[in-house]
Amino acid sequence: MTTDNKDAGAALERLSSNLQRVDALTQRLLAAVAHKKPVRTSLQGPSQELFTKAATAYVTEMMSNPSRMMEQQIAYWGQSLKHYVASQQNNSDRRFADPMWSEHPYFNFIKQQYLLNTQAMETAVAQMDNLDTRERQKLDFFSRQIMDMFSPSNFLGTNPQALARAVETDGESLVRGLENLVRDIEANNGDLMVTLTDQGAFDVGKNLATTPGKVVFSNHMFELIQYSPTTETVQDVPLVIFPPWINKFYIMDLRPENSLVKWVVDQGFTLFVVSWINPDASMRETGVDTYIEDGFLTAIAKVKEICDVPQLNAAGYCIGGTTLSLTLALMVKRGDTSVKSATLFTTLTDFSEQGEMSVFLGDDFVDGIAAEVEEFGMLDNMFMSRTFSFLRSNDLIYGPAIRHYMMGETPPAFDLLYWNGDGTNLPGRMAIEYLRGLCQQNRFADGGFEVCGEQLYLSDVAVPLLAVACETDHIAAWDQSYRGVQQMQGTERRFILAESGHVAGIINPPQRNKYGYYTNPDLQADPVDWQSNAEHHAGSWWPAWQDWLLLHCGNTVKARKPKATKGLKLIDAPGTYVQK
Give the pLDDT confidence of 184-209 residue by residue, as tens digits.
Answer: 888 888 888 888 899 889 999 999 99
Q: How many CA atoms lie within 13 A of 466 on its CB side?
A: 23
Q: How many CA atoms lie within 13 A of 219 on its CB side?
A: 13
* pLDDT tops 60 at residue 279: yes
Give the pLDDT confidence of 431-460 residue by residue, as tens digits.
Answer: 999 999 999 999 999 999 999 999 999 999
- Pairing mode, if any, of strands 535-537 and 517-519? antiparallel
Average pLDDT over residues 268-283: 98
* pLDDT tops 90 at residue 170: no
pLDDT score, position 120: 85
Q: Is there a catalytic annotation at residue 318?
A: yes
* pLDDT tops 80 at residue 18: no
What is the residue extent of each domain of the chain?
35-168, 213-380+425-447+545-579
Kindly report which listed range (100-104, 508-512, 562-566) carries the lowest average pLDDT score.
562-566
Confidence of residue 86 (pLDDT cuts 50, 70, 90): very low
Cα–Cα distance for residue pair 403/98, rounded to 1 Å:
13
Q: When comparing pLDDT for 105 and 358, which is higher?
A: 105
* Percent of the chain topping pLDDT 90: 63
Residue 214 and residue 273 in contact, taking contact as beta carbons nearer than 8 Å: no
Most confident of 2-16, 205-219, 370-384: 205-219
Cα–Cα distance for residue pair 132/123, rounded to 1 Å:
17
Name the residue among 486, 477, 390, 379 with its Cα closest to residue 435: 379
pLDDT score, position 44: 64
Most confident of 255-264, 352-361, 398-407: 255-264
pLDDT score, position 133: 78
Give the Å distances, CA to CA, from 391 to 112, 246, 322: 24, 16, 21
Beta bridge partner(s), residue 12: none
Q: Which residues contact 341 (CB under 8 A, 6 or more apart)?
A: 313, 314, 463, 464, 465, 466, 548, 549, 552
Name the residue among 236, 339, 269 with its Cα closest to residue 555: 236
Confidence of residue 25 (pLDDT cuts 50, 70, 90): confident
* pLDDT tops 50 at residue 87: no
Helix extents (H) in 34-132: 48-64, 66-85, 100-103, 105-126
pLDDT score, position 326: 98
Which helix (H) or strand (E) is 218 found in, with range?
strand 213-218
Cα–Cα distance for residue pair 200/68, rounded to 1 Å:
56
pLDDT score, position 56: 56
Which helix (H) or strand (E) is 419 found in, with range?
helix 415-421
The backbone torsions φ and ψ at residue 43, rounded to the nearest 5 degrees and listed phi first, read: -100, 5
- Pairing mode, if any, of strands 222-227 and 213-218? antiparallel
Beta bridge partner(s), residue 456: 449
Greatest CA separation found in the chain?
93
The backbone torsions φ and ψ at residue 285, rounded to the nearest 5 degrees and listed phi first, read: -95, 10
Q: Is the bond preceding residue 238 a cis peptide, omega within 30 degrees?
A: no
Neighbours of 334 (CB within 10 A): 11
pLDDT score, position 45: 62
* pLDDT tops 60 at residue 117: yes
Cα–Cα distance for residue pair 137/131, rounded to 1 Å:
9
pLDDT score, position 91: 56
E runs forming strands in 222-278: 222-227, 233-235, 239-242, 271-276
CATH, range 213-380+425-447+545-579: 3.40.50
Confidence of residue 359 (pLDDT cuts 50, 70, 90): confident
Kindly report which listed range (112-126, 254-268, 338-352, 505-519) carries the lowest average pLDDT score.
112-126
Cα separation of the two ends of the chain: 61
pLDDT score, position 46: 62
Average pLDDT over residues 205-221: 97
- What rounded mean pLDDT belongs to the chain? 88
SS3 content of the chain, % helix, strand, coil (to 5): 50, 15, 35
Give the pLDDT confidence of 128-155 residue by residue, as tens digits.
Answer: 777 777 778 888 888 888 899 999 999 9
* pLDDT tops 90 at residue 257: yes
Q: Which residues contact 274 (CB under 8 A, 6 or more apart)?
A: 222, 223, 224, 225, 240, 241, 242, 243, 249, 295, 299, 320
DSSP 215: E
Helix axes 66-85, 105-126, angle to 10 degrees: 170
Cα–Cα distance for residue pair 52/225, rounded to 1 Å:
53
Report angle CA 393, 395, 399 to the nearest 5 degrees. Answer: 95
* Percent of the chain topping pLDDT 70: 88
**Is residue 116 classed as helix, strand or coil in its secondary structure?**
helix
Helix extents (H) in 250-398: 260-266, 288-290, 298-307, 319-334, 363-376, 381-391, 393
Helix axes 160-168, 172-187, angle to 10 degrees: 110
Report angle CA 9, 14, 15 to the nearest 5 degrees. Answer: 95
Residue 284 and residue 433 in contact, taking contact as beta carbons nearer than 8 Å: no
Neighbours of 552 (CB within 10 A): 21
Cα–Cα distance for residue pair 33/30, rounded to 1 Å:
5
- The active-site residue, picked from 318, 439, 452, 553, is 318
Helix extents (H) in 155-257: 160-168, 172-187
